[in-house]
Amino acid sequence: MIVANQVSKKYDNLLANDQLSFECKTGEITGLLGANGAGKSTLLKTFAGLLKPSSGSLSIGGIDAVKQSKAVRLNLGLVLGLEGLYQHMTGRQQLTLAANLYQVDDIDYAVERICKQLELNDFIDRVPTSYSTGQRMRTCLAKALVHQPKYLILDEPTRGLDVLAIAHLRQILTMLRNEGCCILLSSHVMQEIESICDRILVIDKGRLVFDGESTVFQQQQGEPTLEAAFLNCVKEAA
């Protein structure tokens, strides 16, 4: 499980996350919803170990994500953006490096498997400067999945992707969920969250305002769609 317990993050005078507590269960996709600046990315970066919480604790698979971040990362896949691919190494070389660092046993097999699974073979032997946005996304995802992690955290994975790429990503995430992976993803595309997530967490101004199924959220807000429910919720909070 991915667990946040009373997590707060303060930057100078800005409270980006305010005592967030939730659990993401194994074999589920949990969607993190919020407007720009609501604190989604801050929370995910805190799980990734790039930021330290001002208070509270985070754990992934029962291991403290702050104190034992290296141990946590061995079972965690992270995609926090499309940036960050090395410019002068081919995609395959980057996957091999990732597999080595994740201490994968059979590296060649792991790289071949993920290339086949994510359909990377057409471009993976080129350097990323020639990749399309979709190809970059798939390569980032492949790097995060090459060690078959039990936990996966994605920050706005559909950003910049076309319809086909989004459909492909949806298939992959569904497959991973069915394999028992615990997935936490953020997005502000309501349709995306609605179609793929088992549960949603709604954050507004750093506070968790809803934790549950999207249909319950719609009912609670008295709106027919997730988008309308979200807008209503944010308006109420304002």
Partner 1 sequence: MINEIKFLALKEWRELIGDYRSLTAAFMYVALGPALLFMLASKWVANVDAEPNLDIAVIEHNIAARIVSHIELNGHTASIISESQRDQFDLVIEARNKPHSNGVHLYLSGAASSDAKSKQLTAAQSLINQFVHQENRFAQASSTSTTFEPAITLSIHTHDAFNAQQLSLLRSLMIFILMAPFVITLAFVSDTLGGERERGALAQTSLMPVSSASIVLAKYLAGVAMGLIGTFATLSLGLWLIGDLPLYKLGFSLQITPVTIVAAIAWLTPFVALIVALQMFIAMTAASFKESQNYLSMLSFAPMLSVFMNDKVEGLALGHWIPLVQQQKGLMALFSEQAINWQYCMVAAVVCLSLAAAALLVVNRELQSEKLAQFI
Q: Which residues bind partner 1 (CB under 8 A)?
A: 45, 48-52, 70-71, 73-74, 78, 80-81, 83-89, 93, 97-98, 100-103, 127, 143
CA distance 128 to 119: 15
Nearer to partner 1 by Cβ, of 102 and 210: the residue is: 102
Nearer to partner 1 by Cβ, of 70 and 235: the residue is: 70
| Shortest Å, Cβ 66 to partner 1 | 12
Closest listed residue to residue 237, CA positions, set 81, 83, 39, 69: 39
User: Residue 204 corresponds to which tokens in the numbers above?
Assistant: 């507004």
Alpha-helical runs (H) found in 102-225? 107-117, 133-145, 163-178, 190-196, 214-221
| Shortest Å, Cβ 21 to partner 1 | 22
| Shortest Å, Cβ 98 to partner 1 | 7
Closest listed residue to residue 31, CA positions, set 220, 219, 238, 203: 203
Give the length of the chain: 238
| Shortest Å, Cβ 88 to partner 1 | 3
Nearer to partner 1 by Cβ, of 9 and 199: the residue is: 9
| Shortest Å, Cβ 213 to partner 1 | 30
Nearer to partner 1 by Cβ, of 130 and 178: the residue is: 130
Distances (CA, A) of 114 to 32, 53, 83, 119: 26, 33, 20, 8
| Shortest Å, Cβ 175 to partner 1 | 23
CA distance 184 to 24: 7
Nearer to partner 1 by Cβ, of 109 and 237: the residue is: 109
DSSP for residue 144? H
Helix (H, G, I), strand (E, B) or coil at 179: coil
Nearer to partner 1 by Cβ, of 129 and 178: the residue is: 129
> Judging by beta carbons within 10 Å of its beta carbon (0-12, 13-18, 19+), is residue 66 exposed, middle or buried?
middle
